[in-house]
Amino acid sequence: MATLPQWTKSLDDDFVNTWYDIRADVIDNVLDATILTAALKSHGCFTTQVGSDIVTRTVGYGEKSTQRFDRGSVLTQKIIPLDTMAEWNWRYFTVDVNRTLVDDSKNAGKYQIKSYVARRLEAARNALVQDLEKYLSQWGGAYNAPKQPNGLYDITPLHEAEAAATAPFADTDNASDYFDQSGGVSNGKIDRTNKWWRNWIMAGSETASDTEMNAGSTVAPYALNLVPNLRHMFNKVRANQEAPNFILMDQDIYEAYEDEAQDKQQIVQSVFTKKAIDLGFDAFTYKGATMSYTPTLAGTLHIHLLNLNHIEMVYNPNLWFDMGDWKETPLQFERVAFIVCMTTGLICAQPRRNGSMEYDS
């Protein structure tokens, strides 16, 4: 008969071995469980990096120009900086799996142990599903939060954030109506005072600038002008070059568009739109882009137009849904193990390929 320490160690191994047996399926299921992570997975946005203190990307922003000349012309030369470096810090999140000697002993029977292990691991999986998309739908660096992964609002910030009167949203660049995180600690640690490091934006009930809408115009509430606003914004981001391929919004905006533009939804579905529908999500195709909504944006009246060809979620494959050793609680019979993930969150080295829209009502 096994001693208590031997039995406890055996149960430790059952949990860890079971987790690693199902880990690959869990990762697939977690990433397919919400529309944002499913889109990132489908478009190949998950990229790996092992080691290094930071994640970096080279950003090209300088432009050369040609010269016209004829006989006797004096030519000029300009040394123009062409590249800079964007960098992102690693972020970590974890979920705990808990056990107690009391529950261990109650569920130690031949037919109970598998379901006991499965229930504990399922609870951890559900937490990972819900919290991963929540993290990615928030601000990361914009809040100077060292624990928060980069999220949607770091790569597609809003005018509302830029114009807020209180820290950390300093109104440092009011003329151009783009949010700039003072000190450049948001997406890539590059200030958005640089025009080449900005996404397109549109703000409801705000006077729009030349770079986003027709100068001097005011955007009406979404119930009135959602369709033309979205079309105009989509074309601005596309710039007749490369279009957004994923549009994410809150449910109210999504349903308003459904009501107003049923005849404008494309019958021919994109590859990801079809996959999203097969996974059980409500989605349709708009100008070739998959359009859907997420509960994590509920009540925001925000729209994010994303080009997922230029968005990544970098993660360390050596610390990605990995389960550590079981730890004892001092002077108690409780034990805990942690499932850990290491990632940057969302990063983008070409913000101009994305856009954000917001409405007040």
Reduced 3-state DSSP string for 182-202: CCCCCHHHCCCCCHHHCCEEE
Which segments in the chain show pLDDT lower than 50?
142-144, 160-185, 205-220
CB 110 within 8 A of CB 346: no
CB 86 within 8 A of CB 60: no
Please tell me the predicted confidence (pLDDT) of residue 260.
80
C-alpha torsion sign, points 293, 297, 301, 302: negative
Structure tokens at 89: 């810090």
Please tell me the predicted confidence (pLDDT) of residue 263.
64
Please tell me the predicted confidence (pLDDT) of residue 1.
64
Smallest Cα–Cα separation from 324: which of 342, 298, 301, 350? Answer: 342
Q: What is the C-alpha to C-alpha distance for residues 170 and 157, in angstroms, rounded to an integer? A: 13
CB 76 within 8 A of CB 67: yes
Structure tokens at 96: 């705990």
For residue range 149-201, what is the model confidence (pLDDT) as tens digits? Answer: 888 888 888 764 444 333 333 333 332 333 434 344 467 888 777 778 888 88
Structure tokens at 102: 């009391």
Q: What are phi and psi of 207, to 5 degrees?
A: -70, 125
Please tell me the predicted confidence (pLDDT) of residue 69.
85
Q: Which distant-in-sequence residues (6+ apart) come within 8 Å of 359 by Cβ? A: 204, 205, 219, 221, 222, 253, 301, 302
pTM for the structure as a whole: 0.83
Q: What is the C-alpha to C-alpha distance for residues 330 and 313, in angstroms, rounded to an integer? A: 38
Please tell me the predicted confidence (pLDDT) of residue 120.
84
Please tell me the predicted confidence (pLDDT) of residue 313.
96
Q: What are phi and psi of 140, to 5 degrees?
A: -115, -90
Structure tokens at 223: 């119930």
CB 29 within 8 A of CB 125: yes
Q: What is the C-alpha to C-alpha distance for residues 15 and 13, in angstroms, rounded to an integer? A: 5
Enclosing H/E stretch for 328:
strand 327-328
For residue range 66-86, what is the model confidence (pLDDT) as tens digits? Answer: 888 888 888 888 877 778 889
